[in-house]
Amino acid sequence: MADWTGWRFILTVCVASVLVVEADIKAYTPVGQLFVFELQRETFQNEFEPFLKHYGRVYNDPMLFKCNMQSFPDLPGWLRFTQRHHYDNGFLYGTPLAQGKSMIEITVTNKRSYDTFRDRLIITIDPPAKRMPYQAEFFIPLREIEKVLPSTVQEEIRQDMMRMWKTDRLDFVNITSALDRGGRVPLPLAGHYEGVYVKVGSDQYFSECLLSLQTDEHRRQCEAGGRAKIPGDCKVCSYPGNCVTWCKSTLIDLSKPVIPPPAPTMGPGILDAGGVYDPPESPPPRDFLPDYIVTVIVPLALAIILCLLLAYIMCCRREGLERRDGKTPDIQLYHHHTIHGNTSELRSMAGCRGVPPPLSTLSMFNARTGETAPPFQTDSPSIPLILAQQEINTDTLPRK
């Protein structure tokens, strides 16, 4: 019984390890050819609850993809990632330059529920499958990198270039956004695109129309700023968005061996004898007093003058309390003192209850004695009450 339990545990571990291995996404690509892997949102939608369908409703959640090399914060140098919007699929693309294996961690964030899911992509880079000594790079101005990476669009571009090259042995070498080449970010308006550089290669030599890119006449037309004239065989553009800008297209011939530069000659490491070392002379002395005066003394003097001017304005230009009261009308001073007296009286009343009503509430009273004065008899309703009170109590006004 114990032996059967041990075998069952070993079998469970083996099955779990197999399932873990099978959970990884595997991809293969040769050296020197374009690698494109599309991260489809529909595939990862099944990893989040509710699983794709719930009571007849199909969920289409926005998702954010983040990719990095395992145990590293960034991707390998040959690999790039792009995703324009959360409702768009993501693309991993690039051209490997050496054999090996790259493990990419893919983190998916559901922007509706903020659940996360992590997967791993293992890219095995095989030796070069084809030799492509003849390569050409074309610039497509009316495209963006996300619109070129799908396989259907790549096939459209490949068919057009096969007609220009007059061969079916044509493969993609690299696809690069114009922004990675120093291009400007386009305006967010309709009809403005980033532009894409597409490099293809073949073992077949260039066609006659492609060789016209290397002629002097073509270079002169491009330098003059006009549109270069291309022979009719190269005017193949099944879709307007795939048309090529010929002045930014180049041909690359890798069939000719590149002669490396000569290696530097190694000397004995000892200077030749002869001559006396003549060190450079010391610079002449310099007077820093003018610089000090301009840099320190002048700003300090200006600061002192401004401080004195401000002190004179704030302290010496004040008119004083007596002069201000002398220029103020008596009725205004009386009104001011009345407000202060009423305020003090209300504050004293707030501390206790059951006090007599304040004198300020009585009609026409004397502020000094509290004596009620007879009402002012006048036929004009335009005379204010305070003027009438002033005429009655002129002897009680404060004088300065």
DSSP 244-308: -EEEEEEEEE-SSPPPPPPPPPP--SSPPS-S---PPPPPPP---HHHHIIIIIHHHHHHHHHHH
pLDDT, tens digit, 9 for 90 and up, residues 98-131: 999 999 999 999 888 888 899 999 999 999 888 8
Residue 362, pLDDT score: 58
Helix (H, G, I), strand (E, B) or coil at 320: coil
**Which of 126, 155, 172 is where one domain is finished?**
126
Beta bridge partners of 264: none
Q: Determine, yes or no, domain membership for 343.
A: no
Q: Determine, yes or no, domain membership for 317.
A: no
pLDDT, tens digit, 9 for 90 and up, residues 317-368: 777 777 777 778 888 888 888 888 888 888 887 777 666 666 656 555 555 5
Q: Are residues 119 and 186 in the same domain?
A: no
Q: Residue 13 to residues 16, 53, 334, 399: CA-CA distances in angstroms? A: 5, 33, 101, 107
Q: Are residues 51 and 117 in the same domain?
A: yes
Strands (E), the chain: 25-30, 35-39, 53-54, 57-58, 63-69, 79-82, 90-94, 100-110, 116-126, 134-140, 171-177, 196-202, 245-253
Q: Are residues 58 and 35 in the same domain?
A: yes
Q: Are residues 167 and 122 in the same domain?
A: no
Q: Are residues 111 and 141 in the same domain?
A: no
Range of the domain at 45: 22-126
80-94, 175-189, 295-309, 313-327: the lowest-pLDDT one: 313-327
Q: Determine, yes or no, domain membership for 290.
A: no
The count of structural domains within the chain is 2
Helix (H, G, I), strand (E, B) or coil at 386: helix
Q: Determine, yes or no, domain membership for 246.
A: yes
Terminal CA-CA length for the chain: 118
With cut-offs at 50, 70 and 90, classify the pLDDT of residue 400.
very low
With cut-offs at 50, 70 and 90, classify the pLDDT of residue 381.
very low
pTM: predicted TM-score of the whole model, two decimal places? 0.59
pLDDT at residue 387 above 60? Answer: no
Q: Are residues 208 and 175 in the same domain?
A: yes
Q: Are residues 117 and 48 in the same domain?
A: yes
Q: Determine, yes or no, domain membership for 239.
A: yes
Q: Which two tokens stand for residue 153?
A: 């669009």
Q: Determine, yes or no, domain membership for 277.
A: no
CA atoms within 13 A on the CB side of 270: 4
Q: Are residues 121 and 145 in the same domain?
A: no
**Which of 253, 275, 304 is where one domain is finished?**
253
Helix (H, G, I), strand (E, B) or coil at 44: helix
Q: Determine, yes or no, domain membership for 294.
A: no
Picking from 97, 103, 149, the residue whose alpha carbon sits closest to that of residue 126 is: 97
Q: Are residues 108 and 89 in the same domain?
A: yes
119-123, 127-131, 229-233, 291-295: the lowest-pLDDT one: 229-233
Q: Are residues 119 and 168 in the same domain?
A: no
Q: Are residues 166 and 122 in the same domain?
A: no
How many Å apart are CA 205 and CA 215, to the nearest integer?
16
Picking from 32, 194, 19, the residue whose alpha carbon sits closest to that of residue 98 is: 32
Buried b / exposed e along 41-61 (16+ C-beta atoms within 10 A): beebbebbeeeeeeeeeeeee
Residue 82, pLDDT score: 93
CATH number, domain at 93? 2.60.40.10
92-96, 131-135, 169-173, 369-373: the lowest-pLDDT one: 369-373
Vertex 344, ends 342 and 349: CA angle to 5°? Answer: 95
How many Å apart are CA 155 and CA 170, to the nearest integer?
11
**Which of 232, 253, 274 is where one domain is finished?**
253
Q: Determine, yes or no, domain membership for 271.
A: no
Residue 92 φ then ψ, to 5°: -105, 125
Collect all residues with Cβ–Cβ distance below 8 Å to 366 and sequence separation of at least 6.
Answer: 372, 373, 393, 396
Q: Are residues 107 and 176 in the same domain?
A: no
Q: Residue 323 to residues 103, 313, 320, 381: CA-CA distances in angstroms? A: 89, 18, 6, 35
